Amino acid sequence: MEIIIADSSGLCYGVKRALQLAHHARRRRKGRVLTLGELIHNPMAIAGLEKKGIQSVRNPGSIREGTVIIRSHGVAPAVYRTLAKKRIEVVDATCPIVKKIQRLVEKLATAGEEIIIVGDPGHPEIKGLIGYSGGRGRIVENEEQARRLPPRKKRSALAQSTQDLSLFGRVVAALLERTEELAVYNTICRSTQTRQRSTSELAARVDTLFILGGKNSSNTSKLYQISKRLQPNTHFIESARQITPRLLRGAKRIGISGGASTPPEAIEEAVARIRNGFEHQSHRESIIQWQS
Ligand code: SF4
Last residue of a domain, one of 141, 164, 188: 188
How does pLDDT run across 73-82, given as a tens digit for each residue? Answer: 999 999 999 9
Contact (CB, 8 A) for 68 and 88:
yes
Say if residue 116 is in the same domain as residue 44: no
Predicted TM-score (pTM) of this structure: 0.89
pLDDT of 216 reads 83
Say if residue 105 is in the same domain as residue 54: no
Residues 168, 186: Cα–Cα separation, whole Å: 9
Last residue of a domain, one of 126, 154, 188: 188
pLDDT of 61 reads 85
Give the structural domain span for 178.
Answer: 97-188
Residues 273, 16: Cα–Cα separation, whole Å: 25
Contact (CB, 8 A) for 274 and 286:
yes
Ligand 1 mutation target, pool 126, 189, 217, most atoms within 8 A of CB: 189
Tell me the CATH number at 219. 3.40.1010.20
Residues 94, 114: Cα–Cα separation, whole Å: 25
Say if residue 136 is in the same domain as residue 162: yes
Please work out whether the CB of residue 161 comes within 6 Å of at least one atom of ligand 1. yes
pLDDT of 106 reads 98
Say if residue 170 is in the same domain as residue 107: yes
Please work out whether the CB of residue 101 comes within 6 Å of at least one atom of ligand 1. no
pLDDT of 289 reads 66
pLDDT of 291 reads 67
Please work out whether the CB of residue 13 comes within 6 Å of at least one atom of ligand 1. yes
Say if residue 249 is in the same domain as residue 216: yes
Please work out whether the CB of residue 102 comes within 6 Å of at least one atom of ligand 1. no
Say if residue 40 is in the same domain as residue 89: yes
pLDDT of 114 reads 97
pLDDT of 97 reads 97
Say if residue 115 is in the same domain as residue 86: no
Say if residue 135 is in the same domain as residue 62: no
Last residue of a domain, one of 75, 95, 115: 95
Tell me the CATH number at 86. 3.40.50.11270
Residue ranges for the chain with pLDDT beneath 70: 279-292
Residues assigned a catalytic role: 125
Count how many residues are written for the chain: 292
Specify which residues 5 forms β-bridges with.
256, 290
Cross-sheet strand order for the sheet of 67-70: 54-57, 33-36, 67-70, 89-92
How does pLDDT run across 12-24, given as a tens digit for each residue? Answer: 999 999 999 999 9
Ligand 1 atom 5 nearest Cα: 14
Residues 267, 91: Cα–Cα separation, whole Å: 29
Ligand 1 mean position, distance from CA 52 (Å)? 24
pLDDT of 9 reads 86
From the number of C-beta atoms within 10 Å of its C-beta (0-12, 13-18, 19+), residue 287 rates as exposed
pLDDT of 283 reads 45
Q: How far is CA 49 from CA 12, 56, 162, in A?
A: 18, 9, 24
Domains in the chain, number: 3
